Amino acid sequence: MVEKIKEYWFGMLLLVFSAVFLIFVAIVAVAPHDDLKMRGFAPCTYQMVYDVNIYSSQSDISGVLGAITKSYVCYAAVMGEGVKLWMNGKQSTPWANYFFKTDTFKIPEELSEPFSEDLLKANRLDDKDEGQNILGNYQKIK
């Protein structure tokens, strides 16, 4: 057994790191990222969206990749905080601070309006003018 470990230690190490990373990415993908109370991964996600928007408007690819990396570091910090709170007895499970039922903003039915009939029927594909092409000029398409 020791000989197998000596021979394959690097492969096993890569396997462990890969498995931990894939589990981490799966947890981040499944957890909610939108909450009115800004709990869990929501602050990390909102900051990442802001940073990516700024860097992409400047065509800064390294800034975009840095913002995404920074958000995953923030996600790991949220997970670490959950483990710390769980070990101190402040929450029931290590994932209670990022797996929860979200509070989202919903407009009450009495304040919302249904879509107008004109808006529902507004479809450029149903235009009766068949000569219009995609660019919007009215040349006959042959």
Q: What angle do CA 38, 45, 86 make, to 5 degrees?
A: 60
Q: Specify the range with the lowest mean pLDDT, choosing from 12-16, 28-32, 133-137.
A: 133-137
Task: Dump pLDDT digits (tens) for 57-113.
Answer: 999 999 999 999 999 999 999 999 999 999 999 999 999 998 888 887 777 777 778
| pLDDT for 128 beyond 80 | no
- Considering only CA atoms, which of 101, 99, 95 is closest in space to residue 80? 95
Cα separation, 16 vs 85, in Å, equals: 26
CB-CB contact of 35 with 102 (8 Å): yes
Is the pLDDT score of 133 beyond 80?
no
